[in-house]
Amino acid sequence: MQIKDLPYPDPGVPDARSGPRFLWWLHRNQLGGQFKSLAWGLLHFTSVSALPFCVGAAIQAVVDRSGSRLALTGGLLALAGFGIALGDTFLHRTAVTNWITAAARVQQLLARKAAVLGSALTRRVAAGEVVAVSTGVVDQHDNPTNARQNRSNTGETKDKSLSVAGITMVSTGDVEKIGWFVEGVSRFTAAALTVVLVCVALLVYQPALGVVVAAGLPVLAIAVLPLLPRATRRADFQREKAGRATELASDTVAGLRVLRGIGGEELFLDRYRRASQEVRHAAVRSARMWSLISAIQVLLPGVLMVVVVWYGVQLARQGRVTVGELVTVYSSVMVLTYPLRHFEEIAMAYSFSRPSAKRAARVLSLERATDTDGVREGDLPTGDLYDPATGLLAPAGRLTAVVCGDPDAAGLLAERLGGHPAEPGTSVLLGGVPLDELPLDTAREAVLVQDKDPVLLSGSLRELLDVPASGDVAAQEALGAAQCGDVLEALAQGSLDAEDPMDARITERGRSLSGGQRQRLALARSLITDPEVLVLDEPTSAVDSHTEARIAEGVHGLREGRTTVVFTSSPLLLDRADRVVLVHEGEVAAVGVHRELVRTEPRYRAVVTRETEEEAALGGALAEDGVLDKDVLEELEEIEETA
């Protein structure tokens, strides 16, 4: 697989039983690239390791005054130099390819899993556990070799946070570490084989000094391994502290207006300062450990070279080694520190990638509670939408409003109506057909659920509204029903080059728009799709009452003849619904219309009017239109003043 061929037609079925198994699965699925990297790595490392032998032979040729041998060693040096250049060039190329293709496979797997699970993912995985990539795994304009060296020296990687669909995601950190290890296995293998070959060659070339080198190199290779787990734990602790500080800062910035209103700005700033100091202390402790590892990596090779030189001088005085042999062995020890660095790097890469792979495997191991492939084929089912778990019935072609006092329970119910039950065997029925017996794409075509916090992707408004749809609802009709007139004006005024508001750019997550404007654009997008069943979770919670009333009228008119379920506690929306259902403690408690329920059902009235126990004690003193009588209002005002 080459970079130009990405994305994969099929990323495969991962082994997500554990982090190490997932890493091994990734490695096995790109053996072609691994063998290429191994071959070029062997060429590069062996060419580098051949330099000391050539230099030693050249010096000995000068000592022996042999011109022919000097010319021969000169030719060998040129050949080794060519091998170094060729091997390094193509090793770098294959390493980058392996890195990016491995990370891209992880990206596709996670994206596919997120698409299968839908909104259920946010409820089954904690924030920060989702591993994904937003815009490219690796900056292809950077030098990956330098990036690897930076990680080897500091033990740190770039951890960037991105908020997607309400989840805090690691955009490059975890996937970069996974790709780093998968790519580094072949380079490590080439380095290890080179070290073995050089040790054997030194034993044959000069047994007396070769024994010293062969005994010392394994010590150099494994000396820092006992320190890596502690260093990794400290680095993970630092990233955890940094993540908490970033989350606290994001929450503070997002709620700055509210904090200023209640005088809590300084309080939260002090909390962030303390969190920042904790990050600094953790970073210092982590840096100390990595500094110790770096010092050992410098110290031990130096000690080995001192031992080799001292012992070699003694042998030279005794006439047991020549000057050329001494230079060869000494130079070999110096040169071998280069492939030896890959021993520490692969240990470090595994230490860092294992937690990342574990998080990725945890997400990839999640399964939809229903059969993704389905067992039924044919046309889309039509008819009533029925949830056997709660007894909720949404008649076909009518607007049903659902009132639920618990927002979390409402979200779970909306998720279940969309075909994502929490447990098998609790599937919702559409026209008597269980949604979990339908293929996933068919079920989603039949039922569309708009979350409470819908996401707007960056791009033009035309691109935002270019979604799979029946074609029966035009963009202007949907925008009109969602009352997006002022949104179009705002987009047109904010765009310098777009004459048509439909060509105006929407920034990432619609940050340039207000909460109500984003909510209305998301509603218009849902209306354009014109699904058989549309489920809306609090679609007007961020708009004013006048706009909400017009939206209620527009949605009711545009969705006439289609099944629509709206989770809301807004009297304006409830009053326009054909049918209102009260869900209390997981079961349908009352069914009727708004004005009837607000008079006769205290539990419904408590949720819709948010009345207190004292207000409820006044008992059903309501007008026919669902508004409290004047006398009752005066009594309520007295109660509030007394309280």
- Per-residue confidence band for 425, with pLDDT thresholds at 50, 70 and 90: low
Highest mean pLDDT of the ranges 273-277, 499-503, 551-555: 551-555
Contacts of 613 (CB under 8 A, 6+ apart): none
Record the tokens describing residue 89, joined without a space: 């060039």
Lowest mean pLDDT among 75-79, 146-150, 329-333: 146-150
Q: Is the pLDDT higher at 323 or at 23?
A: 23
Tens-place pLDDT, residues 217-261: 888 878 877 888 888 888 778 877 877 777 777 666 666 555 566
Asked if residue 416 lies in contact with residue 410, where contact means CB atoms within 8 angstroms, the answer is no
pLDDT attached to residue 304:
86
Mean pLDDT of 525-553: 92
Residue 418: is its pLDDT beyond 90? no
d(CA 416, CA 632): 40
- Containing 535, the helix (H) or strand (E) segment is strand 533-537
Lowest mean pLDDT among 54-63, 185-194, 386-395, 578-587: 54-63
pLDDT attached to residue 628:
46
Asked if residue 51 lies in contact with residue 387, where contact means CB atoms within 8 angstroms, the answer is no
Full strand arrangement of the beta sheet holding 385-387: 392-394, 385-387, 429-430, 433-434
Strand-strand pairing, 579-584 and 587-592: antiparallel
- Per-residue confidence band for 526, with pLDDT thresholds at 50, 70 and 90: very high
3-state secondary structure of 536: strand
pLDDT cut 70: percent of the chain above it: 80
- Per-residue confidence band for 122, with pLDDT thresholds at 50, 70 and 90: low
Instruction: Phi first, then psi: give them for residue 322, nearest 5 degrees.
Output: -90, 170
Asked if residue 101 lies in contact with residue 33, where contact means CB atoms within 8 angstroms, the answer is yes
Tens-place pLDDT, residues 490-515: 887 877 676 788 888 887 767 778 88
Mean pLDDT of 156-169: 34
pLDDT attached to residue 587:
92
What is the signed CA dihedral for 435, 436, 438, 443, rounded to 10 degrees? Answer: 50
- Angle among Cα 434, 438, 441 to the nearest 5 degrees reads 135
Residue 429: is its pLDDT beyond 50? yes
Task: Evaluate the CA torsion angle 470, 471, 476, 477 in order and state its sign.
Answer: negative
In this structure, how many other beta carbons lie within 10 angstroms of the beta carbon of residue 464? 20
d(CA 330, CA 304): 10
Record the tokens describing residue 400, joined without a space: 């049903």
d(CA 545, CA 570): 9
- Per-residue confidence band for 456, with pLDDT thresholds at 50, 70 and 90: confident
Tens-place pLDDT, residues 276-322: 888 899 889 988 988 888 888 788 888 888 888 888 888 888 888 88
Lowest mean pLDDT among 143-147, 391-395, 418-422, 588-592: 143-147
pLDDT attached to residue 594:
93
For residue 424, cis peptide bond before it (omega within 30 degrees of 0): no
Burial code of 275-304, b = ≥16 C-beta within 10 A, e = fewer? beebbeebbeebbebbeebbeebeebbeeb
Asked if residue 576 lies in contact with residue 556, where contact means CB atoms within 8 angstroms, the answer is yes
pLDDT attached to residue 580:
96
pLDDT attached to residue 244:
76
pLDDT attached to residue 370:
55
**First vs last C-alpha separation in the chain:** 72
Mean pLDDT of 544-555: 92
Mean pLDDT of 470-474: 89
Mean pLDDT of 579-596: 93
pLDDT attached to residue 171:
38
Lowest mean pLDDT among 57-66, 152-161, 564-573, 610-619: 152-161
Lowest mean pLDDT among 324-338, 492-506, 616-630: 616-630
pLDDT attached to residue 167:
33
pLDDT attached to residue 533:
94
d(CA 580, CA 5): 53
Average pLDDT, the chain: 80
| Domains identified in the chain and CATH numbers | 3-10+19-364 (1.20.1560.10), 385-455+528-610 (3.40.50.300)
Among candidate residues 431, 417, 403, 460, the one with its CA nearest the CA of residue 582: 403
d(CA 106, CA 109): 5
Mean pLDDT of 333-339: 82
pLDDT attached to residue 144:
36
Contacts of 356 (CB under 8 A, 6+ apart): 19, 131, 173, 174, 175, 177, 178
CA 224 to chain centroid, in Å, comes to 32
Residue 151: is its pLDDT beyond 70? no
pLDDT attached to residue 150:
38
Q: How many residues does the chain have?
A: 643
Residue 66: is its pLDDT beyond 50? yes
pLDDT cut 90: percent of the chain above it: 29
Give the DSSP letter of residue 381.
P
Tens-place pLDDT, residues 17-47: 998 999 999 999 999 999 999 999 999 999 9
pLDDT attached to residue 265:
67
C-alpha distances (whole Å) from 458 to each of 462, 464, 505, 506, 511 are 11, 8, 7, 5, 10
pLDDT attached to residue 105:
92
pLDDT attached to residue 275:
86
pTM of the complete model? 0.67
In this structure, how many other beta carbons lie within 10 angstroms of the beta carbon of residue 141? 5
Mean pLDDT of 78-103: 93
Strand-strand pairing, 399-404 and 579-584: parallel
